[in-house]
Amino acid sequence: MQENTLGKGWYGMAGPLFHIEDLHVSVEDKEIVRGLNLTLKGGEIHAIMGPNGTGKSTLASALMGHPAYEIIGGKVTLDGEDVLEMSVDERARKGMFLAMQYPAEVPGVSNANFIRTALNARLGEGNEIPVMKFHRELQAQMKRLNIDPVFAERYLNEGFSGGEKKRNEILQMVMLKPRVVILDEIDSGLDIDALKIVAEAVNSMRSPEVTFLIITHYQRLLQYIVPDFVHVMMQGRIVRSGGRELAERLEAEGYDWLKHELGIEDETVGVQA
Amino acid sequence: MAEQTTTIVSVTAEALSVRYVEPDWLRKMRAGAWEIFQAAPSPKLEKTDLRDRSWDIGPYADEPGSPSEEAEALVGELAGQAYVHVRNGVAVAVHLPEALAAQGVVMTDLHTAVRDHADLVKAHLGTVVKPDEGKWAALNAALWHGGIFVYVPRNVVVDTPVHFVYEETGQAAGGAPRALVVADEHSALSYVEVFLTAGSQPDKVHTGVTEVIAKTGAKVTAAAVGGYRKGPANFSVRRAHIGNDASVDWVFADIGDGFSVVLLESDLAGDGSASTVQGIGIGTGRQHLDLTASVLHHGRYSTSDIQLHGAMKDRANAIYRSSTHIFKGAVGAGSEQHDRMLMLDKRARADAIPMLLIDENDVQRCGHAASVGRIDQNQVYYLMSRGIPRSEATKMIIWGYLEPTVQRIPSEVVRTHLVRRIDRELEA
Ligand SMILES: Nc1ncnc2c1ncn2[C@@H]1O[C@H](COP(=O)(O)OP(=O)(O)OP(=O)(O)O)[C@@H](O)[C@H]1O
Ligand SMILES: [Mg+2]
């Protein structure tokens, strides 16, 4: 690490290369992700769409290392390093970040204390951010995300509304400045103004040193955050990839045409593929 | 069934009365309590086996002995504030700031108060925790040694906390501290007691009693921080008597590896009276803690809220009972209970027992929730997913579970002391 500023590209290294190869994930002995391939490069924004229950959140959780999700096959690397060998916190310190569909509530732990501890963990011993500087930065970012300053001292996610939780995930993202960002339904529960603010935050982080994987059901988010690639997930794998026009067609026509083309009857992972 | 606990008491009520040149009423009170103690059967507790425990207390030291490092540091930080410091039963320091004395506040060690404020002490001592309510209340009433007396006159609001630091250094052979806190009508007070006990022989008894009286319209916060060490059997009774429109908010913390039976009770005697009981505990080693937080609703429109959070390490075994009793006539009373126990080690054991007795038909909401569990792995995952290592994440979650109660202790010095103690336990 070169410097402990909060400026862009604090890692001072080239853009990330995140590679998923033939990934298989099971939950409670049921295979949910079934042979998924995807490569994310610095500067790119990938969107994943797909009907309910097709394994999108499972993919995101497995990439982050959630203990309930068992990797039963495949490879995941970040800049050539084996991600699946890393503990959850190591993945985060390497620059991975997942904005969760359902973030946990942690009573008694203040939001500010949590974010500062996380940031210092990421900066590493000896490079901790001075307290005053942290609070200035936190307040500035909260203001920008239109989060009431009292949320700094509220307990982490406890009693937050759906939309407040999502904005708090984005606050963590802009504070931690990760390199591989996975957003799982960040738009659900957000009002239109909040959606624009969140999109602006994502767009401002867009650089050759960051790559994004955005899971969403709605084309609307993708009007604000324009993706380079759109992938459709069904039955636990990517069944179609394209550009932004793919998202537009799905928005207009739904998934039936695609299922028809692919000869898929049940798109979920509920029955055997 | 045969009496299985043995009674050997190495100190007598009469000797104490002589030592402190006590007035007749107190001499009689001690002697009467001693009779009750001797006649009372050894208590049978549902979850605590007392058969191997004997009832030995004393001999009491003539001199306080040398201080423990911990107590010395704490008292050092209290310099300039209101406190009574008792070591091994002997008062070693009484400090009442000028400003409080000028308001008419009385705060001194209980033996001195018996002499200098006889009427006030006589009118209140033993009225809230009576000698005949049980074996260890009787033992304390007969043999109490070292204590504090606090009196806040009518309409006086004391805005800085009053402290009672009670220390046993291990040379002591058990002990029997007693606290009497009286808040007169429409007064306000924050009272904090800290018990620091080094262990002593396992066949000794420690029996503490705290009486809090909140008269009409008085507002009292009463905090108790205890740390009983392996060794003597600890019996403690803390009770508040709460008058019309008065309130007592209890905050307590218990950290240790001792053998303890603890009762903390609010008697909501007055109409419109209110009480909260917020407690945390960390059990370590082979702690056995049998704790009851109880509220008795007698007054109309009385309200209460009990919240207990325990964390058990090692082979600690704790029973946290919260009990609310709404008596006939307590029209419009309302109560809440929330108990959570967190088991931090496989061999730790915990019970959370909610008890709710309602004799009155016309009550408000009476809710209760109790759970025993382990640290939520989803929370650990969430914190780790932001780069925080597992051990630190776990510590943050436990701290978060205890912190809101710590923050309610109305003395910064004691809060800081408690934070250090908890940190030390969680590091270990
Ligand atoms: N922890 C879990 N325990 C049991 N089943 C699970 C778990 N996680 C996921 N599943 C199951 O795996 C399947 C895929 O779930 P997943 O959450 O990945 O879908 P999704 O594509 O994100 O859906 P949505 O669009 O509704 O968010 C579902 O059938 C779900 O019930
Ligand atoms: Mg999902």
Distance CA B53, CA B63 (A): 27
DSSP letters of B136-178?
Answer: HHHHHHHH--SEEEEEE-TT-B--S-EEEEEEE-SSS--B--E
Q: What is the pLDDT of residue B104?
A: 98
Q: How many angstroms does the Cα of residue A101 sit away from the middle of ligand 2? A: 6
- The parent domain of residue A238 ranges over 17-106+179-262
Q: Going by CA atoms, what residue is nearest to atom 10 of ligand 1?
A: A27
Handedness of CA A121, A84, A169, B406 (dihedral sign): negative
Is residue B214 within a helix (H) or strand (E), and if so which, with residue range?
strand B205-214
Cα B374 to chain centroid distance, Å, stands at 27
Distance CA B53, CA B233 (A): 7
Domain presence at residue A194: yes
Of A67, A88, A108, the CB nearest to B403: A108
Of A65, A92, A104, the CB nearest to B387: A92
Q: Is A64 in the pocket of ligand 1 (CB under 6 A)?
A: no
Structural domains of chain A, count: 1
Mutate to test the interface with A, among B374, B377, B388 (most CBs of A within 10 A): B388
Is B262:B292 a contact under the CB 8 Å cutoff? yes
Domain presence at residue A25: yes
- 3-class state of residue B74 by DSSP: helix
Q: Contacts of residue A101 in chain B, CB cutoff 8 Å?
A: none
Q: Hey, are the CB atoms on B389 and A121 less than 8 Å from each other?
A: yes
Q: Could you give the ipTM of this predicted complex? A: 0.93
Mutate to test the interface with B, among A61, A89, A96, A184 (most CBs of B within 10 A): A89
Write the burial class of residue B239 (CB in 10 Å: 0-12 exposed, 13-18 middle, 19+ buried): buried
Ligand nearest to the CA of A67: 1
Q: What is the pLDDT of residue B2?
A: 37
Q: What is the pLDDT of residue B227?
A: 83
Closest by CA position to B401, among listed B362, B374, B361: B374
Distance CA A134, CA A249 (A): 44
CATH number at residue A82: 3.40.50.300
Tokens found for residue B121:
């002490």
Distance CA A252, CA B344 (A): 53
Average pLDDT estimate for A32-51: 96
Is A37:A63 a contact under the CB 8 Å cutoff? no
Q: Is A178 in the pocket of ligand 1 (CB under 6 A)?
A: no
Is B107:B82 a contact under the CB 8 Å cutoff? yes
Cα A21 to chain centroid distance, Å, stands at 18
Per-residue b or e along B309-328, where b marks 16 or more CB atoms closer than 10 Å to that residue's CB: bbbbbbbbbbbbbbbbbbbe
Q: What is the pLDDT of residue A9?
A: 43
Instruction: State which of A48, A58, A239 you would mutate to test the pocket of ligand 1, scoring each by most atoms of that ligand within 8 A of its C-beta.
Output: A58
Is B133:B164 a contact under the CB 8 Å cutoff? no
A52-87 per-position pLDDT tens digit: 999 999 999 999 999 999 999 999 999 999 999 999
What are the residues whose beta carbons fall under 8 Å from the beta carbon of B337, sequence distance 6 or more?
A: B305, B306, B307, B322, B324, B354, B356, B367, B368, B369, B370
Distance CA A88, CA B386 (A): 8
Instruction: State which of A56, A69, A271 you would mutate to test the pocket of ligand 1, scoring each by most atoms of that ligand within 8 A of its C-beta.
Output: A56
Q: What is the pTM of this model?
A: 0.88
Provide the 10 A C-beta neighbour count for residue B395.
Answer: 16
pLDDT above 90 as % of chain A? 88
Handedness of CA B13, B16, B18, B21 (dihedral sign): negative
Is B22:B114 a contact under the CB 8 Å cutoff? yes
- 3-class state of residue B330 by DSSP: coil
Is B144:B89 a contact under the CB 8 Å cutoff? no
Q: What is the pLDDT of residue B172?
A: 57
Domain boundaries along the sequence of chain B: 13-375
A196-251 per-position pLDDT tens digit: 999 999 999 999 999 999 999 988 999 999 999 999 999 999 999 999 999 999 98
> Is pLDDT of A4 > 60?
no
Which residue from B minimizes the CA distance to A90?
A: B387
- 3-class state of residue A65 by DSSP: coil
Q: Hey, are the CB atoms on A109 and B387 less than 8 Å from each other?
A: no
Domain presence at residue A161: no
Is B77:B413 a contact under the CB 8 Å cutoff? yes
Q: What is the pLDDT of residue A270?
A: 67
pLDDT above 70 as % of chain A? 94
What are the residues whose beta carbons fall under 8 Å from the beta carbon of B236, sequence distance 6 or more?
A: B206, B207, B208, B209, B210, B226, B260, B261, B262, B263
The number of helix segments (H) and strand segments (E) in chain B equals 10, 19
Q: How many angstroms does the Cα of residue B385 sit away from the middle of ligand 2? A: 17
Pairing of strands B147-152, A96-99: unpaired
Looking at the complex, does the CB of residue A122 fall below 8 Å from at least one CB of chain B? yes
Q: Hey, are the CB atoms on B388 and A104 less than 8 Å from each other?
A: no
Q: Going by CA atoms, what residue is nearest to atom 26 of ligand 1?
A: A52
The mean predicted confidence, pLDDT, of chain A is 92
Q: What is the pLDDT of residue B198?
A: 76
Is residue A261 within a helix (H) or strand (E), and if so which, with residue range?
helix A256-262
> Is pLDDT of A14 > 90?
no
Distance CA B172, CA A232 (A): 75
Q: Hey, are the CB atoms on B400 and A67 less than 8 Å from each other?
A: no
Distance CA B413, CA B77 (A): 7
Q: What is the pLDDT of residue A96?
A: 98
Domain presence at residue A130: no
pLDDT string in tens for chain B (428-residue length): 334 456 667 788 999 999 999 999 999 999 999 999 999 888 888 888 887 777 788 888 889 988 888 899 999 999 999 999 999 999 999 999 999 999 999 999 999 999 999 999 999 999 999 999 989 899 999 999 999 999 999 999 999 999 999 998 876 577 899 999 999 999 999 999 999 887 666 778 889 999 999 999 999 999 999 888 888 889 999 999 999 999 999 999 999 999 999 999 999 999 999 999 999 999 999 999 999 999 999 999 999 999 999 999 999 999 999 999 999 999 999 999 999 999 999 999 999 999 999 999 999 988 888 999 999 999 999 999 999 999 999 999 999 999 999 999 999 999 999 999 999 988 87
Q: What is the pLDDT of residue B5?
A: 56
DSSP secondary structure letter of residue A4: -
Higher pLDDT, B277 or A270: B277
- 3-class state of residue A179 by DSSP: coil
DSSP secondary structure letter of residue B298: -
